Structure formats: C-alpha cells, structure tokens
Structure 1
Amino acid sequence: MELAPQLRRIGNDIIAAHLILGDEGMTLVDTGLPGHYRDLMRELNDLGRPVSDIKGIVLTHGDSDHIGFAQRLRSELGIPVYIGAEDAARAKGAKPPATPKDPRRIGPVVRFFAYAIAKGGFRTRPLQEVTPVQDGDVLPLPGSPRIVAMPGHSPGSVAVHVPAVRAVFVGDELTTRHVLTGVEGPQPAPFTDDQAGSSASLDRLADLDVDWVIPGHGAPWHGSTSSLIAAYRSAEGRSAD
C-alpha cells in the first residue's frame, strides 16, 4: 500500500511493517509476523524490485510481532538488522517481563489473535545476530534513518526518523487503534513494560518536522507530531479518570 511516493506499507491496521524506497535500495522498518513475508514479496513484485534491494532492517523494538521475518532475510541474504541496544536480547529470544493487564473487548481480541495466527505468529524465529544502535545514530541505509531512543514500551524501543519520506516510525510507543479494545485514535499501546516512561518518551518527538507518524498498530497519523501528542495526552487523561 502506498502512503507516499517513497513509502509503502506492508500489512494493515492490526500489524504493519514499512518499506522506504530509494534509488540506491530500500530500508525495511519492522518485519511484522512471518506471514508478512508473502505480503512483502507481492509489494516488491508490484514495484518491479528484487528483495536483494533491501539494504537493511531497522526494528523499533524486539517483540515477536515486529521481528517476524527478519531472521529469514538476515540468514538468506545477509541483510543487517539494527535494533536499540537494550532490546537486542529480546529480539534474540529473551522473554519479556509480564506487563499489567490491559483493558480488552472480546471482538477486537479475537480479531487480533486470529490475524496473528493466520500470519504465522507462532512461527516467529528469534534473531541470531543484530547490530545494536543508540540514540542519535544515523544509519548507512537508504533514507538515512536516524534513531530516537524511546524507552518505555520496552527498554530498547526506538523511533526511526526518516526525513527523506517526512516520517517517523514509533513502533508500539503509541497506537492509533488498540488491538485489544478496538478504540481508535492516538493512545497508550498495550503490553507496555513501563507506561510512565513510554508517555514521557513521546515528548522526544515534539520537534520533528514530519508529515507522518507511523505506529506498528493502527492507521498512520498524517499530521504533525504536536497534534498527535495532544490527542494522545487527551486519551491518556480520559483513561486516568
């Protein structure tokens, strides 16, 4: 799905990954679940580009619904995988801590888990090797993605700022469609390790000049970071009442 001339979406509002296009190659941000590999192949076929044009994968964090087919591309094609240093162990299979129970509604929960199962959620392969990144790193990949540390959802969560496509990818630091309740709009994401830390991290987006703020779950936000943060704070306030 085309979001902008150099930006493609793989997946849907339940779980998504994103492809940044450049003349010198492509960068993949997150890799969803194993079954999204076929969706990627269909997108590349439509673009008329080989999978070898992908020069690197940048993971917003190490949860299983974001590392999906990363190990496949790494092992078969030697494509490097970058991740926040504090999430390297999680991407390699370390078990995340238990998180507080999130609100849920039966319909959205069933749809989320049915989709995850259909996309091979139980077949996710941990990464065998990753390249750790830190806040402020500019990666040698198409689009020159810059890392913004966003601890909270997980210790090594990062946002990926790509000025070339005027977008920032925020992983699960927020969601615009809660997979467990179906509620739409910017709001805290479920399964978060440290919600207070996640909320504080959002302020690190405030000065970014972008047209798109793109979460891993929910519709992309087409607008400024300030408008998104304001909507998030409003939702956060309502949930605290």
Structure 2
Amino acid sequence: MATEIAEGVWRFDCRGVNAYLVSDDVPTLVDAGTPWDEAAIRRGLDEAGVAVSDIGRVLLTHYDLDHVGTLAALAPDLDASIHAYGFDAQLLRGARSPPLRNHKGLIQRLGGLLTDLPDLDVVGVRDGEALGSFTAYHTPGHTPGHVAYVSEELGVGLLGDLVSESDGDLKPSGWVISYDTDAVAASVRDLAERAPVFEVACVGHGEPLATGGSEALRRLAATL
C-alpha cells in the first residue's frame, strides 16, 4: 500500500520496513524493501502514478536485506543508477563480504543468502554530495556505509535505519542491528548539527514523521 505522507512523498509499507518514493527533479526511489516485497513496491508505484521505468534515481541509505531486497527483481524494468556509500556500495556490487567478526556482519552474511545482487550500475556516494535536491550525509554505525539524505528544498530527511520511530519520537539504532552503537550516537549528533531544517522524517522502521522531523532528531541528539 502507498500512502502520501507529504506532497510528493510516498511511503510504501513493506514487510516490516518502509520504502519511499519522492518527487524530486526525477522520481526517486528510496530503499527497496525485502526480497519478498516486489509486488508491494510495484503496486505502490502504480498507486503513486509512477512506472518502474519512470524512476530516475535510487537512493539507498544502506545495505541490508530489507533495504535492497527487491532491486534485482525490479532491474529488468529499472533504468536508473543506484546510489550507495562506501562499504555498503561494495557489498551491493558483490566486491566485498560482511565481516564475520562483527555480529551485525554475521546477520548480513545470512541475509545475503536470500538476497540477489542487482544487475544495475551502483554509484558511490560522497559525504556532502548533492543528488537532485538532496545532500548526502555519511552516518555510520548501523552499517559502516549508512548514509542519510536531506533536502532543504523539499523539507524531507531520509534517515534510513540511523533511527527508528516509536510513539512519535525517534530512537537510535540498537545494538542487535548495528555495527557500532557509539558510532550511531555520534552520527545522530552530527546529522542533527549539520543538516538543515526538515519537516518530514522518513525512517526505515516505524511511522514516518510528517512534521517536526529535524526537531525530533535534535531532541534525540541531546540525549546521546
């Protein structure tokens, strides 16, 4: 199901995770659900009036089974570059494997057994890079290459799994699903300081915030 949470910002409710479509300079898909969410994403795009072939850019916040899962299935109809950061981009290309010495890396190894890599161009993102109206902010901790994207023009923050939503507030990515929770806390504080004001906070898990997004992020940062 697709829900327009703000003008031009659609949430796709996948299996325990959110993906998004943003009307930027080109239709932009943000993350891509689990390997079992192809139908949900295709249906959501249709409800938003966008064909898979219309997507001009894919922004990935990070590599995890529930954020890259449908890319291979969408690939035959998708003519867009995938943008991901550093280590996570290498995982998506199949150039590296998650480390077994880290508990989250082990989870990613297991998830990789269920995840097909897409036959698509994976473009590395740089911290501070502009992608349409969005600016990329490297926010490691949940994964080494986690990145958030904020558009001052649209008033939208794409926060991925740096944080999740609970009872209307944001909370940081926890130990079980993170490489490094100290890095998560530092990334929350850094993003709250560096990013411009945004109203809409698009999170990977929980309900997106339609208003007060950057204020909620700063409240969280003040507690870490």
- Shorter-chain TM-score: what band? 0.7 to 0.9
Aligned to 1:136: 128
Aligned to 2:198: 210
SS in 1 for 2:202: strand
Q: Is the 1:168–1:210 contact (alpha carbons within 8 Å) kept by the matching residues of 2?
A: yes
Aligned to 1:107: none
Shift of 1:165: 2.7
Normalized against structure 1, the TM-score is what?
0.75
Q: Which amino acid aligns with 1:59?
A: L
Q: Percent identity?
A: 29
SS in 2 for 1:8: strand
Within 5 Å, which residues of 2 pair with 1:1-241?
1-11=3-13, 14-22=16-24, 25-93=26-94, 94-97=97-100, 98-99=102-103, 123-128=114-119, 129-139=121-131, 141=132, 144-177=133-166, 185-190=169-174, 191-206=177-192, 207-221=195-209, 222-231=211-220, 233-234=222-223
Equivalent-residue separation in structure 2 for 1:95 and 1:203 (angstroms): 26
Q: Which amino acid aligns with 1:196?
A: D
Normalized against structure 2, the TM-score is what?
0.80
Unaligned runs of 5+ residues in structure 2 are: 105-110
Shift of 1:145: 2.1
CA RMSD of aligned residues (A): 2.7
Aligned residues: 207
Task: Provide, for residues 68-116 of structure 1, a one-character-per-residue CA deviation record: whole Å limited to 9, x for no partner.
Answer: 112333454332100012211222452255337xxxxxxxxxxxxxxxx
The verdict on how the C-alpha distance between 1:99 and 1:188 changes in structure 2, with shifts beyond 3 A counting, is farther
Equivalent-residue separation in structure 2 for 1:201 and 1:54 (angstroms): 29
Shift of 1:123: 4.1
Shift of 1:184: 7.2
SS in 1 for 2:130: coil
Task: Provide, for residues 149-195 of structure 1, a one-character-per-residue CA deviation record: whole Å limited to 9, x for no partner.
Answer: 11111111100112343111111111114xxxxx8742222311011
Unaligned runs of 5+ residues in structure 1 are: 101-119, 178-182, 237-241
Equivalent-residue separation in structure 1 for 2:144 and 2:187 (angstroms): 11
